[in-house]
Chain A
Amino acid sequence: MMNNKMPATNGFIRKNAVLSGLMVISPVIVCGNTVMNALAFIYAFSAITFLSVAAGSFVPKKIPYGLRIIIYAVLGSLAYIPVKEAAEMFFPGVIERIGIYFMLIAVNSLITVQSEVKFYKYKKGKMLVSVMSHILGFDLVMLVVSAIRELLAYGTFCGRIVDAEVLISGLGMPFGGFIFLGLICGIYRWIVPGGKADEDFGGDRDVYNF
């Protein structure tokens, strides 16, 4: 069960959502191949997740679990609409490149299933800090992964050409994302003490115990 005495800022490094928690992997693998894609995704992910989790914290716990999950997903879908409008204004063309992954943010596991396990056990203030730390942790991973992948795969950084002689185009593909993320995750666990998930397979036990 969730240890309520864990620092709320753990989500940034020590219990990073991607590298430690095995969550929200697909956007990092598929969309995290250029910095511009990553920035657009980060903006959308941060806004939708924060708004949805904050709004979801007001859902009464008396409502059955199944209905609560549906409500969280609906809140995510509602938060998606204004965020998408703003993304079209600030990042034109990126939504087409990211495709369905932009819409899938609304049902990411931090909003639907993990919110009850990770956030709603805290009081409101600590909950918001925890949400922010998890979001920032994801953002950091997405930025680092996309920057390195763009550099090595396309020889550019933020769309600007960098003088790179040998390019590994496979690194820009989903399989390159899988392999690169796996290597980064291994290095992260080697460096960060306690960075390993309590149980990699089987995930957070609470997900299966409801």
Chain B
Amino acid sequence: MFIISEIVALLTTNLILTQALGTSTLFIAAGSRKNLLWTAVSISVFTTIGSFGACLLDSMLPDSLYDLKMLFYVLIIGMLYIISLTVLYFADRKDFGTTRKYIHVSAFNCAVMGTLFTISENAEAANLTMLDYICAGAEAGAGFILAAFVFTAAFKSLNSENVPSSFRGFPAALIYLGIISMAIYALM
């Protein structure tokens, strides 16, 4: 019962299915299963570690500088971006040329930034701790991976020759995600 409650929680707070964040990234990465999987994983890494940085910033940022929050979040993600590229370069120099694209696509996109802002908004109301921030970031990443699986399952059907040509691909995928999102909304 706990597992099912967790799955329901992952679905009802899902970035893509309830907030439409990261949909473009999902479509860009859906060209191949490998791209989709690694993009989802790198987004999860960014949301988890980024939420740690967001927690530190939120605790230190005075109210008078609230308008600069966006800028500081961008700088946090920017630092994470550089660090991850550096780590990847030294860890896997041979394949760096092919693997760096996942970092490029994952860093500055609505899924990551949206997660940080959503957690930050919830933190104001609920007095979250550092661990809560990190767990929320990891949950957002896991939700993205779940949405990626949901999308992959229908990928062939959405690109089938039977789908009318004007709906084949992106339009059918949007309607598919919309119907899944509708079912999740009915659960709430």
In the complex, A touching B (Cβ < 8 A):
yes
Interface string of B10-21 (1 = CB under 8 A from A): 000000001111
Decide yes or no whether A182 CB sits under 8 A from chain B: yes
Which B residues, 146 to 182, have Cβ-Cβ distances below 8 Å to chain A?
Answer: 155, 159, 164-175, 177-179, 181-182
A190 B19 Cβ-Cβ under 8 A? no
Decide yes or no whether A39 CB sits under 8 A from chain B: no
Minimum CB–CB distance from B170 to chain A (whole Å) comes to 4
Which A residues, 42 to 100, have Cβ-Cβ distances below 8 Å to chain B?
Answer: 65-67, 69-70, 73-74, 76-78, 80-81, 84-85, 99-100
Minimum CB–CB distance from B27 to chain A (whole Å) comes to 5
Rounded to whole angstroms, the CA-CA distance of A77 and B113 in the bound complex is: 12
Contacts A179-B182, A182-B172, A208-B105 given; does A26 touch B20 at CB 8 Å:
yes
B20 A25 Cβ-Cβ under 8 A? yes
Decide yes or no whether A113 CB sits under 8 A from chain B: yes
Which B residues, 46 to 78, have Cβ-Cβ distances below 8 Å to chain A?
Answer: 67-71, 74-75, 77-78
Interface string of A90-126 (1 = CB under 8 A from B): 0000000001100110111100110000000000000
Q: Give me the interface of A with B, judged by CB distance under 8 Å.
A: 22-26, 29-30, 65-67, 69-70, 73-74, 76-78, 80-81, 84-85, 99-100, 103-104, 106-109, 112-113, 170, 173-179, 181-183, 185-187, 189-190, 196-197, 199-204, 207-210
Q: Give me the interface of B with A, judged by CB distance under 8 Å.
A: 18-24, 27-28, 30-32, 35, 67-71, 74-75, 77-78, 81-82, 85, 100-101, 104-105, 107-110, 113-114, 117-118, 121, 155, 159, 164-175, 177-179, 181-182, 184-185
Known: A81-B68, A100-B118, A189-B165. 8 other contacts (CB 8 A): A66-B82, A69-B107, A76-B74, A103-B69, A178-B174, A182-B170, A182-B174, A201-B170
- 28 of the cross-chain contacts (CB-CB < 8 Å) are A22-B28, A23-B24, A25-B174, A26-B21, A65-B104, A70-B74, A84-B67, A100-B117, A100-B121, A103-B69, A104-B21, A107-B108, A174-B20, A174-B181, A179-B182, A182-B173, A182-B175, A183-B175, A185-B170, A189-B167, A201-B28, A201-B31, A201-B170, A202-B30, A203-B24, A203-B28, A204-B28, A210-B104
